[in-house]
Chains A and B, each alone.
Chain A
Amino acid sequence: MLFKVEASKSEEVSNNLVAREFERVDLQYTDCSKRFYQVSRDFSKQYAHIYAARLNTFRNILGEIVRKKWSDKHKILKLCELREKGTTCVIIGTLFKHQDLKPSILKELSDELDIIPQPARTHFVNDSDTLVLEDELQRIKLAGDCIDVHQVVTGVVCALLGSEDGDGLFTVQDVCWPECNIQKPLPKIEEDRYIVLVSGLNMASKSAEHWFSLHLFLEWLAGLSGSAQYQEQLSKIARVIVAGGVFTNYNSESALNEADVIASAGSVDALCAAASAVAPLDLMPGCRDPAGIMLPQKPFHYCLFPKAVEYKSFNRVSNPYECDVGGFLCLGTSGEPIKDILRYSKIDNYLDAMRMTLQWRHLAPTCPDTVPCTPCTDTDPFTIYKCPAVYFCGNTEEFATSMYEGTNGQRVRLVCVPDFCSTKTVAVVNLANLDCYSMSFS
């Protein structure tokens, strides 16, 4: 009934205010973000390792897919084994996109010397962008219409079918993406079970316009508002995930002000305590929150939440975050990797970028190129090992959702969780049918 039109019956019934006590549904929950928590944080290492680990992982993944797609006709070669010109073969490597407009500190310095004012850019795409493919040892320039420079970003691993020309160009005839892994069969639920996704609470901001909306949201979540029937529906909200931007959201222009954050810590704690008093709450940090900026971000420090920490239902989690709620795998970030993909490609909306990441089987291909990231050595934690059922991206401009249908029958609910501060909107996913709705509070 939460959002179902047919459920709204006569007004009298809908306004039935019988005092009934409801208990919130309980879904089994498992935190699957271990790989994000346990990332090696050895900052003496360089970033080459993460690319090497990524390539290794995807070489194993792509081997089978390539065989399935192109059979065994063509050899899978490493770049150093490309000797015979004109022979069609398959190469596997990491795409690197040469972009003239890509910000570079060296370039900025040299430009400063020349006193050439550089226009501030939000997108760094240019028609002159070119693609190269690299593996552990070499790189090769790519040519051909099969692969669109503007639809990919640096860091994506793929297999390319083609041949090397005389002048060292690899002409691409076909592309094979890793695609999303096979999905674990989703459990069938008779009754509705909801997950609420919020982001961009922006509680350290100086404007308080959205605060009343937060109150309304909390009343709604707690089941204070609404009729008895509606409250019964509200009791089916099994979990609340805050996808970053708790203190400061992505859109705020000014950098995080320490004093504001400290001042707001109390109210954030109160909000979290109030929310976790009624529903399990997962709190992810965002790129501007008081947590390390490097992905994967560690959970907030517990000292920030002296009251909320008392609740067992209060979970401080990492960003990215992956969890299993009642057999449905939920995976998402607070939005940085997707925003970065939008900046460095001509993919122009969040949903498409999210679709691409599923196709690339990678949460954040531009890590560590243009998204700060810890120099992981052994593994690349951003690989999407399991196909999620709910895939969300926080701090988007507006609510958007769509269903991703994979080639192997995977069904993934894509959710762009809007910035609550500006839109006052939350996203609600019904696990029973993977439907998604928005609810705004104003």
Chain B
Amino acid sequence: MEVEISKENMNIVKEMVLDEERLVTYATLSKELLIHVNVSKSLLKAVVDDIRQNLPKTELSISHVISGLSRDHQARTTVCLESELQAVKDAMETVFFNHIYSVCKGTPKVDNVALMAVNKFEDFPLCVGLIKGNSCVKRSLEEIGSLKTTSHDVASTSQPQKTKSAPIMKKPVKTTEESTNVKVAEPSQVKSEPIIKKEIVSPKKDVSQTNKVKSEPKGKPQKGIAGFFSKQNGNTSKKTVEPVKQTIKEEIKSNGSVKSNAEEVVTAVKEEEMEVDIDIPAPVTKSNTKESASSSSSLKNGVGTNKSKPQAKNKPVSQVKKNAKVDKKRKRVLKVSDSESEEDKDPFADDTPTEIHESDDEIPPTPTINTVKITSGIINPRKRRKIVDKTFTDEEGYILTKKVEVYESCSDNEEEGEKKENVQTNQLKKEIVVKEVKETSPKQNKKEAKNSKKKISPPQKGKQATMMSFFKKV
């Protein structure tokens, strides 16, 4: 052959074939000796010739690869033993190429599986003399990475959702921060509250801030944690919205001032939110009046009323201990309770219902409006419907049922009269009472609070709200 074959390689191949008795193909030879495949073919042929010359008795199994055009004009590439080579050649009209494929010592029983085992797919790129294209280059890691990302994008839109969920998780934290801010702000508010109470504006401020804080999560996509709050908020908003229409005109004026005063209030607050704020103040006024009435009016009921108030206030405290999430709101409520029971009504409406039952039982015997108002203010959400019927029949019952919405009108009227009289005195008294309540009743109230929580159902609130709104409209 034209190709020079080094004796060194010849000896190596001879060793492989004769001593190690390995199956050697031109491809494995090329791979192991790092020589061009064509050289390895020549080398194999030279080795075979050499062995046959020097060791004629050695039995060699030699297979050839032959490619050509058969007589029926079918191109064919095949591997055959040397003994069959001539027959195959004869069967071909044209031979494209023909060279040794493999050499092995021994009888010709080498099968295709052995040939495959010697040279795997993975080994092909290791051979020398491959015909490679320009584009047959490996990608860089970055390119593979981009491939994966693109396939991900194409494959699923779920990832963006995940990313969305992550911010959602963050958002609740923000809300908590907001709530904390609100809390921080509250002491100042509490201070201002007495003044506001005089004007009846102070409860609005608190309510507006709290409501706004609550409403913010609404504006944002509802989150896992925030969703819980948002539900409450939604309920409260519904409740509040209805009453607002009737009573809030005067309050709106005060709200405007309140907003200007409160830095936390968002300028972008929606009209609905404004309404909500307005609605809340009405109950607050009720509660204030109630509290003032209870504190001032009767010693008999005063104990019960005090208990009920502290229960509502204390319940939030217990809840706070139980759940961090709840704590935030409840803390707000507590603050509210410190200031006044307005905010408590929304969140604590849930807590109060148990109390309401008690109060209902107690209330009918006690004709005093003050007790009824207090309980009602707290209790509204639960019993509204049930009591509504009673309210229709009896004036007292009517007041009780109306607690949230109807009371607003009543409370407004009452408040107007009472505000002037008792604002300052009531505030002082209320604060004292609240402190006492906190100290006294947390343990007892916990159970009640739990029950109330269970009983409290947002749908009831919504239903009640609709009913109330209907009556108001009428």
Pair A225/B97 contact, Cβ less than 8 Å: yes
Known contacts A274-B124, A437-B75, A442-B78; is-contact A19 B136 (Cβ 8 Å): no
Pair B116/A24 contact, Cβ less than 8 Å: no
Pair A279/B136 contact, Cβ less than 8 Å: yes
Bitwise interface map of B from 190 to 208 toward A, beta carbon under 8 Å scored 1, else 0: 0000000000000000000
Known contacts A14-B96, A19-B36; is-contact A311 B136 (Cβ 8 Å): yes
Q: Collect the chain B residues with CB atoms within 8 Å of residue A20's CB.
A: 38
Pair B78/A23 contact, Cβ less than 8 Å: no
Is B113's beta carbon under 8 Å from chain A?
yes
Q: Provide the bound-state CA to CA distance between A301 and B135, in Å.
A: 21
Is A3's beta carbon under 8 Å from chain B?
yes
Q: Provide the bound-state CA to CA distance between A254 and B370, in Å.
A: 84
Is A169's beta carbon under 8 Å from chain B?
no
Pair A23/B133 contact, Cβ less than 8 Å: yes
Q: Which residue of the partner chain B has the closest CB to A216?
A: B77
Most chain B beta-carbon contacts within 10 A, residue among A226, A273, A311: A226
Is A385's beta carbon under 8 Å from chain B?
no
Pair A280/B74 contact, Cβ less than 8 Å: no
B133-158, CB < 8 A from A: 133-139, 143-144, 147-148, 151
Q: Collect the chain B residues with CB atoms within 8 Å of residue A19's CB.
A: 3, 35-39, 129
Is A57's beta carbon under 8 Å from chain B?
no
Is B132's beta carbon under 8 Å from chain A?
yes
Pair A439/B127 contact, Cβ less than 8 Å: no
Q: Collect the chain B residues with CB atoms within 8 Å of residue A224's CB.
A: 26-27, 30, 37, 124, 127, 129-130
Known contacts A23-B133, A276-B136, A311-B136; is-contact A442 B76 (Cβ 8 Å): yes
Is A310's beta carbon under 8 Å from chain B?
yes
Known contacts A5-B94, A26-B133, A212-B116; is-contact A312 B138 (Cβ 8 Å): yes
Pair A219/B27 contact, Cβ less than 8 Å: yes
B211-244, CB < 8 A from A: none
Is B453's beta carbon under 8 Å from chain A?
no
Known contacts A18-B2, A274-B121; is-contact A23 B96 (Cβ 8 Å): no
Pair A234/B136 contact, Cβ less than 8 Å: no
Q: Provide the bound-state CA to CA distance between A22 and B128, in Å.
A: 11
Q: Provide the bound-state CA to CA distance between A305 and B79, in Å.
A: 30
CB distance from B330 to the nearest CB of A (A): 45
Q: Which residue of the partner chain A has the closest CB to B78?
A: A442
Q: Which residue of the partner chain A has the closest CB to B79?
A: A216
Is A220's beta carbon under 8 Å from chain B?
yes
Q: Which residue of the partner chain B has the closest CB to A232?
A: B131
Known contacts A440-B77, A441-B78; is-contact A218 B138 (Cβ 8 Å): no
Residue from A23, A225, A276, A311 within 8 A of B134 (CB atoms): A23
Pair B116/A309 contact, Cβ less than 8 Å: no
Residue from B99, B101, B144 within 8 A of A17 (CB atoms): B99
Is B95's beta carbon under 8 Å from chain A?
yes
Is A15's beta carbon under 8 Å from chain B?
yes
Q: Provide the bound-state CA to CA distance between A8 and B68, in Å.
A: 9
Q: Provide the bound-state CA to CA distance between A223 and B94, in Å.
A: 20
Known contacts A15-B98, A440-B76; is-contact A278 B139 (Cβ 8 Å): no
Q: Provide the bound-state CA to CA distance between A276 and B136, in Å.
A: 6
B90-122, CB < 8 A from A: 93-99, 101, 112-113, 115-116, 119-122
Pair B119/A215 contact, Cβ less than 8 Å: yes
A255-277, CB < 8 A from B: 267, 270-271, 273-274, 276-277
Number of chain B interface residues as a range: 35 or more
Q: Provide the bound-state CA to CA distance between A442 and B37, in Å.
A: 21
Pair A17/B1 contact, Cβ less than 8 Å: yes
A108-165, CB < 8 A from B: none
Known contacts A211-B116, A313-B135; is-contact A270 B122 (Cβ 8 Å): yes
A222-237, CB < 8 A from B: 222-228, 230-231, 234-235
CB distance from A442 to the nearest CB of B (A): 5
Pair B138/A311 contact, Cβ less than 8 Å: yes
Is B403's beta carbon under 8 Å from chain A?
no
Q: Collect the chain A residues with CB atoms within 8 Å of residue B335's CB.
A: none
Q: Collect the chain B residues with CB atoms within 8 Å of residue A222's CB.
A: 124, 127, 130-131
CB distance from B39 to the nearest CB of A (A): 5
Bitwise interface map of A from 291 to 314 toward B, beta carbon under 8 Å scored 1, else 0: 000000000011000000111110
Q: Collect the chain B residues with CB atoms within 8 Å of residue A42's CB.
A: none
Is A208's beta carbon under 8 Å from chain B?
yes
Q: Collect the chain B residues with CB atoms within 8 Å of residue A5's CB.
A: 69, 93-94
Q: Provide the bound-state CA to CA distance between A277 and B119, in Å.
A: 16
Q: Collect the chain B residues with CB atoms within 8 Å of residue A223's CB.
A: 37, 129-131
Pair A277/B132 contact, Cβ less than 8 Å: yes
Q: Collect the chain B residues with CB atoms within 8 Å of residue A81's CB.
A: none
Bitwise interface map of A from 1 to 22 toward B, beta carbon under 8 Å scored 1, else 0: 1110100100100111111111
Is B65's beta carbon under 8 Å from chain A?
yes
Is A438's beta carbon under 8 Å from chain B?
yes
Residue from A16, A23, A226 within 8 A of B2 (CB atoms): A16
Q: Which residue of the partner chain A has the closest CB to B30?
A: A224
Is B290's beta carbon under 8 Å from chain A?
no
Is B309's beta carbon under 8 Å from chain A?
no
Q: Collect the chain A residues with CB atoms within 8 Å of residue B101's CB.
A: 225
Q: Collect the chain B residues with CB atoms within 8 Å of residue A26's CB.
A: 133-135
Q: Which residue of the partner chain B has the closest CB to A229?
A: B97
Q: Provide the bound-state CA to CA distance between A211 and B119, in Å.
A: 12
Known contacts A208-B113, A225-B67, A280-B135; is-contact A274 B99 (Cβ 8 Å): no
Residue from A25, A227, A301 within 8 A of B151 (CB atoms): A301
Pair B139/A17 contact, Cβ less than 8 Å: no
Q: Collect the chain B residues with CB atoms within 8 Å of residue A267's CB.
A: 121
Q: Provide the bound-state CA to CA distance between A326 and B133, in Å.
A: 15
B53-72, CB < 8 A from A: 65, 67-69
B406-459, CB < 8 A from A: none
Q: Provide the bound-state CA to CA distance between A313 and B135, in Å.
A: 5
Is B315's beta carbon under 8 Å from chain A?
no
Is B42's beta carbon under 8 Å from chain A?
yes
Pair B65/A216 contact, Cβ less than 8 Å: yes
Q: Collect the chain B residues with CB atoms within 8 Å of residue A24's CB.
A: 131-134, 136
Most chain A beta-carbon contacts within 10 A, residue among B125, B132, B151: B132
CB distance from A235 to the nearest CB of B (A): 4
Q: Collect the chain B residues with CB atoms within 8 Å of residue A273's CB.
A: 121-122, 125
Pair A212/B147 contact, Cβ less than 8 Å: no
A199-247, CB < 8 A from B: 208, 211-212, 215-216, 218-220, 222-228, 230-231, 234-235, 238
CB distance from A388 to the nearest CB of B (A): 22
Q: Collect the chain A residues with CB atoms within 8 Å of residue B38's CB.
A: 17-20, 227-228, 231
Task: List 20 additional A-B contacts (Cβ < 8 Å) besides A14-B95, A228-B38.
Answer: A8-B94, A17-B39, A21-B129, A22-B131, A24-B131, A24-B136, A212-B116, A220-B77, A222-B130, A224-B37, A224-B127, A225-B65, A225-B99, A227-B99, A230-B96, A235-B131, A270-B121, A278-B125, A279-B131, A442-B77
A-B contact pairs, 25 of them (CB 8 A): A8-B68, A14-B97, A17-B3, A19-B38, A20-B38, A21-B129, A212-B112, A212-B113, A215-B115, A223-B131, A225-B99, A226-B96, A226-B99, A231-B38, A267-B121, A277-B130, A280-B135, A301-B151, A312-B138, A312-B143, A438-B75, A439-B75, A440-B76, A440-B77, A441-B77
- The 4 A-B residue pairs whose C-beta atoms are closest, nearest first, are A223-B131, A19-B36, A212-B112, A24-B133
Q: Which residues of B line the A interface, CB within 8 A? A: 1-3, 26-27, 30, 35-39, 41-42, 65, 67-69, 74-79, 93-99, 101, 112-113, 115-116, 119-122, 124-125, 127, 129-139, 143-144, 147-148, 151
